Amino acid sequence: MKWWSWILSLIPAGLSISVSILATNEIIPNPVIFLRGNLAALVSRGGVTISIITIVLYLIWNQSQKKHEKTILDMQNQANEDRRRFLQRLDHELKNPLTAIRAGLTNINYQPLEEYVAGEVSAVLAQVMRINRLVADLRKLAALEITPLERITVNMAELLTDVISVLEDQANTEGRRLSLSLPNAPWPLPDVDGDADLLLLAIHNLLDNSIKFTAPGDTIEVRAFDDGSDIVIEIADTGPGIPENEINRVWEELYRGKKARGVPGSGLGLPLVRAIIEKHGGNIALRSRPDQGTVFSVRLPAS
Amino acid sequence: MIMTSKQKLLLVDDEIAITDRLAPFLSRAGFDVKVVADGESALTEIVSFSPDLVILDVLMPLLDGREVLRQLRQKGDWTPVILLTQVGESTERAMALIEGADDYINKPFDSNELVARIRSVLRRTSPGQPPLTVAERLRSNELVVDRTKRRAYLDSKEINLSPKAMSLLEYMITHPDELLTRERILDAVWGWDYPIGTRTIDTRVAELRRVLGDDPSDPQYIETVPGYGYRFVGKVEKTT
């Protein structure tokens, strides 16, 4: 119970007691003298009763409120637990058949094969590897939800430079103008406490997305700056943009936008990015205009 | 005529779909393979078939792989074991080594990679001897790794490593003299394949070298194998 609610509920008791004391001591003039004693007692009892009733009612209300919050929390925990189990079972149920399929295909490959059959086998193997990656991504999502973060001091400026230098050399980056701007004045980009591998994965996924959805001639800008206690990383591109009705859905697992058809990906990239950023106590938002481009902004608490 | 007997493998997995595909592959690779589908039979066969190495699935009904491994090591049986893990959690993988597995491989895996692991474990282990993977403290030159405390010391001074670098060092020092490809390190230490994962490994190896004061051109501990990965070249022994 909060201090002010005690004071509020004790006001009737306080008032009535002081009124009755004042009345009994004849400080308050009262024409009905003979009733004075009884009336004073009555008033003070009434006031005390009102106070007690108020306190009791408040306590009951407070308790039910807490219970309500607890139920919501329980339901959320239960939902998370269910989801975690579901992902783990899915992971498990997919891994055994995948292991068998891969072993079987490897066996077939050891036989002399007609050209046609060999082609089919390698096509099937490529699809198996695709499911493999999907399962791996699902596992990453599940693992993120249950394992505590490894926290070390991460130099985000270095990490961004690293990701960009790797992606610059990638074949499908060709023709895009890729740039990184980092602050130097008045101070460089602050560090972040977190898991360097996961943060690298998140930034890589975002930037890789921009590269996949843009065409040669497009511009991709990575900008980082600090904003008080947070650092902000923006990844902006002049790509095709995301239609308004799809903007909120890109965070859903396995969702693939209309324009994403024909672009390789599992549909788990962005949900994974969001999970990583939120696990670090940060958040991610996106703004997009059709035919103009998209900007993702990642906000992470600085260390 | 000299008869070289084939090395014997015991393959333990309750998924027939897997054992039916894997057993012929392992036979073709030159091993004498026996298959069982549960932990109880595994314990019996380890005694009667006396395999040179056991490939043990973790998740099995009745008696799971971990329990089989535990009972085996408690009896003082040091038959080399490769665990087939399912849940790719790093803690689970680290535990597998502490509990006495010689190596582990995540499902789904490539049959050729499994054969490569079998060969390197067989090359590394000496029959009847506990493997390095079960030692609590290991020493190489001036480096001491305390695996239960997850701490490392250089010249008796504790060194500061990030948790990932520590896991990497632990895996490397328990698999000395083996070519550790970047793919294998990623699978074993990180548990998933990373985009630009090779870069991730190189960063951690650089961290290890810096902390250990190891010169890549004249390595006392970690040697670079160009185009493949790394090799722990320091001589490793158990210590107390």
Specify the pairing of strand A293-301 against strand A230-237: antiparallel
The reported pTM is 0.73
- With an 8 Å Cβ cutoff, is A200 touching chain B? yes
How many angstroms away from the CA of A92 is the closest CA of chain B?
7
Q: Which of A246, A282, A251 is nearest to A268 (CA)?
A: A251
So what's the pLDDT on residue A87? Answer: 72
- Which chain A residue lies closest to B161 (C-alpha atoms)? A152
- Which chain B residue lies closest to A129 (C-alpha atoms)? B108
Interface confidence, given as ipTM, is 0.82
Q: Is A181 helix (H, G, I), strand (E, B) or coil?
A: strand
The identity of residue B20, as a single letter, is D
pLDDT digits (tens, 9 = 90+) for B146-194: 988 889 999 999 998 888 889 899 999 999 998 999 888 988 888 766 6
Superfamily of domain B8-124: Response regulator (3.40.50.2300)
Q: Which of B23, B25, B44 is nearest to B34 (CA)?
A: B23
Boundaries of CATH 1.10.10.10 in chain B? 135-238
Fold of B135-238: Arc Repressor Mutant, subunit A (1.10.10)
So what's the pLDDT on residue A292? Answer: 94
The answer to whether A107 contacts B89, with C-beta atoms less than 8 Å apart, is no
pLDDT digits (tens, 9 = 90+) for A10-24: 887 788 888 777 777
Residue A96 CB neighbours (<10 A): 20
So what's the pLDDT on residue B141? Answer: 92
Q: Which of B159, B160, B169 is nearest to B189 (CA)?
A: B169
Q: Say yes or no to pLDDT of B234 above 80.
A: yes
Boundaries of CATH 3.40.50.2300 in chain B? 8-124
Residue A160 CB neighbours (<10 A): 23
Average pLDDT (B121-132) is 81
Closest CB from B59, B163, B192 relative to A140: B192
Q: How far is CA B3 from CA B6, B10, in A?
A: 9, 21
b/e string for A184-208 if b means 16 or more Cβ within 10 A? eeeeebbbbebbbbbbbbbbbbbbb
Average pLDDT (B82-90) is 71
Helical (H) or strand (E) element with A295? strand A293-301
Q: Which of B154, B230, B237 is nearest to B186 (CA)?
A: B230
pLDDT digits (tens, 9 = 90+) for A227-267: 989 999 999 999 999 988 888 888 887 777 777 766 777 77
Q: Are A231 and A156 in contact (CB under 8 A)?
A: yes
Q: Which residue has the tokens 């039916």?
A: B20
The domains of chain A are located at 1-147, 152-301
Q: Which of B59, B82, B194 to mutate to test the interface with A (most CBs of A within 10 A)?
A: B194
Fold of A152-301: Heat Shock Protein 90 (3.30.565)
Q: Are A271 and A204 in contact (CB under 8 A)?
A: no
Q: Say yes or no to pLDDT of B79 above 80.
A: yes
How many angstroms away from the CA of A107 is the closest CA of chain B?
7
So what's the pLDDT on residue A162? Answer: 87
Beta bridge partners of B153: B144, B158
What confidence category does residue B195 fall into, taking pLDDT thresholds of 50, 70 and 90? low
pLDDT digits (tens, 9 = 90+) for B25-59: 999 999 999 999 999 999 999 999 999 999 999 88
Residue numbers of chain A with a pLDDT score lower than 70: 1-2, 29-37, 261-262
Helical (H) or strand (E) element with A192? strand A192-194
Closest CB from A100, A147, A200 relative to B17: A100
